[in-house]
Each structure stands twice: as C-alpha cells, then as structure tokens.
Amino acid sequence: MQTKEEILGKTPEELKKFVTECGMPPFTSKQILKWIYQKRVYDFNQMTDISKNNREKLQQVATIGINPPAESITSADGTEKYLFRLGDGQTIEAVYIPDKERATLCISSQVGCRMKCLFCMTGKQGLQRNLTSAEIINQILSVPNSESLTNIVYMGMGEPTDNLDEVLKSIEAVIAPWGLSWSPKRITLSTVGTRKGLQRYLKESKCHLAISLHSPDTRRSEIIPADKAFPSAEMIDMLRQYDFSHQRRLSFEYIMFAGVNDSTADAEALAHLIKGLDCRVNLIRYHAIPGVALNTASDKNMITFRDTLNKKGITATIRASRGEDIFAACGMLASQQKNARVR
C-alpha cells in the first residue's frame, strides 16, 4: 500500500512542489496552509475552496499529520501533561502550563536526549531519535488548549540545538505569515549550549534564548557533560557578541542543588560570570529523580541567592514549580506511560 504524504511540517515551497506533482494548481498549496494554520481545519473534505476533485485526490495521496495526544494527566496545580504516541511506536511528552493570562506549552524536540545532564530524567534514556518538524508542530496544534496558547518553550524532551534543522523549520511554521503568524517574542528555546547549534540559532532566529547554566564555574561539567566540549566561559563570551536589549531576551536557568551550587559564593561567582549581559536568571528548585544523589536547595538559600544577584544588579527570580506531582516539572519528562492516565 502506498504511503501517504504528510502535509504538516512542509514549507510553502515543498507543498507547492507536491501539489503540482499531483496535477493541482500551485495556489492549492496556499489554500491548504491557510486551512491548517489559520482556520485550524484538518480534514481535506472541509477545505471548501479547493475543488471537489482535488479534495478527493488529496484524501487518496496525503494526510494532514495531526495526531492528538494518546494520554494526558492533570496536576493539582492545573498543569497538564500530554503523552504523544509517534508513528514508529516511540512516545514523547509535552506540558501545558496555565498561569493567569498566560498559557504556555512546553514541547519536545527529540525522543530522549544525548546530553546526559545529571539532573534530567530524559537524559537517562539516551537519544532514540530526532523529531521531525511535523512531529514538533503537531504538539502545538493538537493539544486541547491549542488556540488559547500564548507562549511556546522548546524545553521538553531533547536538546533543541541538537536537532536544529527541524526545530527551526517548526519555528518558521509558527511565526511565518503562512503559518500561525506569531511574534518571535512568544517563543523561547532552552539549551545547554552546543557550540555550532547555539551560534546558528542566534544568527538564524529572533526568538528568546534560555541557557541551562546551573553552575558558575568548572563544576558545570559534572552536572552537564556537554560543558566539556563547550565550556560555559566560552559560551558567555559568544553571547556577549549579540544584542539582547531589544526584541530577543536572554535568560539563564539555574537549578539549585543543596551543597553543590547554592552558596552565596556561588551567587557572587555567577554575577561575575554574566556581568554586563542584558539578561535575567531563573532560579529553579531541583525535582528529585530516581537514582540521583542530589537534593534541592533550601528556601532560605534560594532567597539569599536571589537577593545576592539582585544586589549585584542582575534580575533574578525564583520560578514556581509546576506539575511535580505528575512528573511534568523541569527535568522530569521521559518516554514513559506509567505516569499518565487516559483522558
């Protein structure tokens, strides 16, 4: 049986090539994209400005590629975690975080991850494969609260700069006039910092950037092995070459571990490291995962750490933990179904 072509994830040029090869007018591609991204219609039969013959042909040779979450679970704080079952049987997770006027979706870019960060459950399973742009976009379009989303963060499973071609392709579908037409300011990419990937992202995207830092010195390599290939000091030097004072925002994610990186001396070292950068620091409580001998810093140490940074002229906040009871908090996502229930 002939495999149907998946429409989701195609650029206008790719879709135009496909429809013309199928004997349809080139403008059919624009019609299809408008139905998918602007009208949120995922059935060819309902695309009424396309001729009946072409709609029937599309049904035979193509599929939109929208696949709703297979399972979901809701936290006591309103956070929702979705499990997506992919075509090859692999699974990924995405997290919806409602917060007053904001509605953020945390999406995945890979099945698993090869960064092996000490504190991260996703890293424990290793990298299974990259997601396609279609699989990334599907997370955004198919969740129940899709049309109410205000923000997207590439902060789920995987290292986005390790799959940058597909990530940038998915971002284009979100911000382009032919896509969802969002402002780049509504999108944040979180990365541990891979040298070529980070440099390329900074050059090719106008979206926000969040760096997983977690230590102000060489101890970072013990927490984030990728630091050995691209040390944080070199990464900071690279970041100094870019302007973060206007549209794009730079932030540093800093998970606080008791007795590891939560002292006043650590705060002062961090302030020195990022001095002069237009940025903010998000302090995050560590969420325990099995088999890792780390503990979260005390509230007292986190407050002192925040206040030390603020006194040094660096905006720092303590991020409220969301979804920990359903394994949806930072570092807790994995390709597993045991923590989900059917919606």
**Which residues are documented as binding site for [4Fe-4S] cluster?**
113, 117, 120
- Which residue pairs from 124-129 have beta carbons closer than 8 angstroms and sit at least 24 positions apart in sequence? 124/289, 124/291, 124/334, 125/334, 125/335, 127/158, 127/162, 128/90, 128/335, 129/90
Active-site option among 106, 207, 279, 330: 330
Q: Which residues are annotated as a binding site?
A: 113, 117, 120, 158-159, 190, 212-214, 287
Answer yes or no: 330 catalytic.
Answer: yes
Asked whether 188 and 208 are in contact (CB, 8 A), the reply is yes
Helix (H/G/I), strand (E/B), else coil: 116? coil
Catalytic residue (choose from 80, 93, 135, 253): 93
Return the residue matching tokens 């950068």.
Answer: 277
Residues 6+ away with beta carbon under 8 Å from 188: 151, 152, 153, 154, 155, 207, 208, 209, 210, 249, 251
DSSP letter for 188, please. Answer: E
Long-range contacts, stretch 70-73, CB < 8 angstroms, 24+ apart: 71/337, 71/340, 71/341, 71/342, 71/343, 72/340, 72/341, 72/342, 72/343, 73/326, 73/328, 73/339, 73/340, 73/341
Q: Which residues does the annotation mark as catalytic?
A: 93, 330
